[in-house]
Amino acid sequence: MPLADLAPEIAVLVTAVLALLAAMALPQPRHGWCAGVALAGLAVAAGLALSQAGLRQTTFSGTFALDGATASARLLILGLTALSVGLSPAWFATDRRHGEVYAMLLFSALGAMAMAGAADLMQLVMGVLLSSVTGYVLAAYHRDWAISLEAGMKYFLVGALANALLVIGVVLVMGIAGGPGYAALGSLPRDPLAVTGLALVLAGLLFKLGAVPAHPWVPDVAEGAPVPAAAFLTTVPKVAAAVALYRLVEVVPDEAAPLRLLLGLVAVATMTLGNLCALAQDDLRRLIGWSSVSQTGYALMAVAVAGALPALIGFLAAYAFANVAALAVVAHLRGRTRIADWRGLGRSHPAALAALALAFLSFVGVPPLAGFLGKLALFAATLEAGLWWLALAAAANTVISLAYYLRVLGPALLSHPEAEAAVMGRSTAITLGAATAALLALTAAWAPVWPLLPEAVLP
């Protein structure tokens, strides 16, 4: 059994168990040490993932693909999880169950990694479920706070429905294709049952992505979940689900089901709805949640055209690091959430607000930030495929999005402060710096990294 092929996943699993054991053994004030365990384990896993980056094969009887897409997704997931872990010690310091957060984050990351590499429908279901079940817990972690509970509840209800649909869809598709492997999907006939099944599978993945119509959990989780968990849940499952979706869409022949066209329409609906709803928010965390919905819409543009895998991964990386950076700023300022409360903070906390400005401008796609380079790649891919309506919709949406980002940045940077703002501490400041550095490094290293991105997934 080629156990070593899954070494990064196994490393994450072992680290999760170790972190859980440490949380049981340590007294509550020492639970912060579990973060060290988690970071060390994530570093080991990242090293293992890097050593496998050159592989192009499937493993475990074709159920798991080891290719460039898996390698990029693994590294992204590990990096984003590490940043979420970095935000946690200060945030959860007074939480009675502080130590268990790390195990939850790691298990959820494991589910995401399983999802991203899945080359088999059953494997996909397992990854989605593991990632979801842990996600519900993370969203509702502040169980004394109604808003957090509501977020967890909404995430759970939408997720339970979506996952049930996913399982039904998988059963239908398996029945038509004759097996769960992606290899069998290549010869999927044109059949109403197969189309129905695929649509249901898509519904499950769109839930993880936070795309229309399975998006309603995103703003609630962004608002109510603990900020480190929100940073995790709005990025890691998205990266995994986007790669999983890309794999699925690649193998299903266009004659069997017009998945690409469907996803193009979903992309337009998602970005438009996300942006329009974000316009009306008075709560910064909800605004970031809706903006995350709209960014998912842009990412789906890359799934809607063939051969846009580098654009997808590049854009996702730019989005994810910017989103974590934005939420890290929120965490650093102790979860300060009403937009009006951010007035004038640019004078008193210039570094944190500069990071927020960079993240938001990257979302808009202001050059030369990574978000722009990602959007440029997306626009080029869609226009090359002749989907001018998709590119124009994205351009119009970008303009809308600028309005609400500036509604936050304008008063925050241009006005005079009205009140003092307390900050969290050193660990959040360092994590915030790391997330911003990742965003800037991605911007600077775009040219050398771009040719390294995978051209295609394994068939």
Query: Which residues bind to other proteins, rule: CB under 8 A?
Result: 361, 364, 366-368, 372-373, 376-377, 379-380, 383-384, 388, 391-392, 395-396, 398-399, 402-403, 406-407, 410-411, 413-415, 446-447, 450-451
47 versus 368: smaller Cβ distance to other proteins? 368
Minimum separation from the CB atom of position 363 to other proteins (A) = 13
Nearer to other proteins, 97 or 407 (CB): 407
**CB nearer to other proteins: pick between 123 and 398:** 398
Nearer to other proteins, 155 or 446 (CB): 446
Q: How far is the CB of 294 from other proteins (least distance, A)?
A: 15
Q: At closest approach, how far in Å is the CB of 426 from other proteins? A: 22
Closer residue to other proteins in complex, CB, 33/450: 450
Q: Which is nearer to other proteins, 7 or 406 (CB)?
A: 406
Closest to other proteins by CB, 232 vs 446, is 446
- For the bound state, the minimum distance from the C-beta of residue 280 to other proteins, rounded and expressed in Å, comes to 16
Q: Are 405 and 363 in contact (CB under 8 A)?
A: yes
Nearest distance from residue 368's CB to other proteins, in Å?
5
Residue 358 beta carbon to other proteins: minimum distance, rounded to whole angstroms: 11
Residue (225 or 268) nearer to other proteins, CB? 268
Q: Which is nearer to other proteins, 106 or 385 (CB)?
A: 385
SS3 57: strand
| Min dist. Cβ of residue 321 to other proteins (A) | 19
Smallest separation, CB 399 to other proteins (Å): 4
Output the 3-class SS for the chain.
CCHHHHHHHHHHHHHHHHHHHHHHHCCHHHCCHHHHHHHHHHHHHHHHHHHCCCCCEEECCCCEEECHHHHHHHHHHHHHHHHHHHHHHHHCCCCCCCCHHHHHHHHHHHHHHHHHHECEHHHHHHHHHHHHHHHHHHHCCCCCCHHHHHHHHHHHHHHHHHHHHHHHHHHHHHHHHCCCEHHHHCCCCCCHHHHHHHHHHHHHHHHHHCCCCCCCHHHHHHHHCCHHHHHHHCCHHHHHHHHHHHHHHHHCCCCCCCHHHHHHHHHHHHHHHHHHHHHCCCEHHHHHHHHHHHHHHHHHHHHHCCCCHHHHHHHHHHHHHHHHHHHHHHHHCCCCCEHHHHCCHHHHCHHHHHHHHHHHHHHHCCCCCHHHHHHHHHHHHHHHCCCHHHHHHHHHHHHHHHHHHHHHHHHHHHCCCCCCCCCCCHHHHHHHHHHHHHHHHHHHCHHHHHHHCCCCCCC
Least distance in Å: CB of 22 to other proteins? 42
